[in-house]
Structure 1
């Protein structure tokens, strides 16, 4: 039975979420290469192979595009993207030290990831010229991450977050004592990854022990 001639049409168009993802990936490359100040919507459009009007459909201006890039770098997004059934500390019931260490490992992997380091460098470089970007980064990345740590610690130490201001300070010390100059060297000196990983492992053990004794005491 004849089905008629085959017709070759245009390939199916991308879904909106796929388009946005491609735009953000291109924007990250362009911002990294040129800096926020010199990057343009035209450059981003060229990098993702789309028309400028397509970019403006999703992002009204460069600031909105950069803001969306900040939003895509979120510890909550990273933690929610774990494979189904993979829970921090799974199989370690009753071992708070192991769960604390796993929490720190997760945070360190997020903060020291190439994508997050790139975004952090961009924001720092533009902080004086575009303070609104720095404020958004601080709110969306730093404060959200701090809140995430507080909620995770509260799960093991009920009552920890009763005084939320104090809890945030403790969470900040917990993370800061782990990353410390490791983060600075990764940001500024592009330090050797293997050396940083070795030092980070020592810091993870020390910070975990100190925090467990402090919170349990």
Structure 2
């Protein structure tokens, strides 16, 4: 069976911070840990209230930090949104490691890869954020660009890198890995996401996502599996 290896550290925040608290000294929280609290609070505030109605003060209250601390670490709301989306995708990319497998397991490997991406693309809060971006991008010109660069495009790049590795092993034949990755993610997520955002349809259940991914794989491999 193909597998996704999930690599988790015993304390991810400690690893990201690269800091160790010394014995006998007051335990002062590192800035990187405080940023994680802020990004998590911002994710909920933006999702619940929209960009315009979210304030630095409301994020600080939800994060349990002072407004002064938040402004010191992240001085503008636009930077807060960009950092929050970047942090969300960083967590996704750091926890998912698609291992290369042999030819006989290509179908299952592709299934694992696309399910990992679908878990992000069809996440309830991610879809809510994308809906918010579409609604408010006209008033805040940098909003859509930040979401695209820090979220959508990085997920496409991660899948494109995996596809490139499979091409180098002779398992598939593709011309443009990023274009193909975008097509695959579009087949998997775009229609269900649009139905939710514009039609009020509930996001698909996991069995429904799995069935959709299987159908997309069949279409893809008919055109791109190496002879």
Q: List per-residue Cα deviations over 1:19-57 (Å, max 9, x = no partner).
A: 111111222222223211122111222222222110011
- Structure 1: runs of 5 or more not aligned: 1-9
Counterpart pick for 2:182 among 167, 172, 178: 172
Is the partner of 2:98 in helix, strand or coil? coil
Q: CA deviation at 1:114?
A: 2.6
Alpha-carbon spacing, 1:68–1:161, altered in 2? closer, same or farther (3 Å): farther
Q: CA deviation at 1:196?
A: 3.7
Counterpart pick for 1:124 among 112, 129, 134: 134
Matched, 1:42 2:51: no
Alpha-carbon spacing, 1:144–1:79, altered in 2? closer, same or farther (3 Å): closer
Alpha-carbon spacing, 1:140–1:185, altered in 2? closer, same or farther (3 Å): same
Higher relative contact order (Cα pairs below 8 Å, separated by 6+ residues): 2
| Superposed counterparts of 1:24-173, under 5 Å | 24-74=39-89, 77-82=91-96, 87-88=97-98, 93-94=102-103, 95-158=105-168, 163=175, 166-173=176-183
TM-score, L = length of structure 1:
0.80
Q: List per-residue Cα deviations over 1:159-205 (Å, max 9, x = no partner).
A: 87985xx3322222222122232122333455445x54333222211
Q: CA deviation at 1:106?
A: 0.5
Partners of 1:77 and 1:54 in 2: CA distance: 23
Partners of 2:123 and 2:189 in 1: CA distance: 13
Q: Which residue of 1 aligns with 2:220?
A: 211
Is the partner of 2:51 in helix, strand or coil? helix
- Structure 2: runs of 5 or more not aligned: 1-24
Partners of 1:124 and 1:36 in 2: CA distance: 11
Structure exhibiting the larger radius of gyration computed from Cα positions: 1
Contact 2:93 2:158 in 1 (8 A): no
Q: List per-residue Cα deviations over 1:67-125 (Å, max 9, x = no partner).
A: 11111121x5313224xxxx5357x5331111111111011001112332232122122
Report the RMSD for the aligned CA atoms in angstroms.
2.6
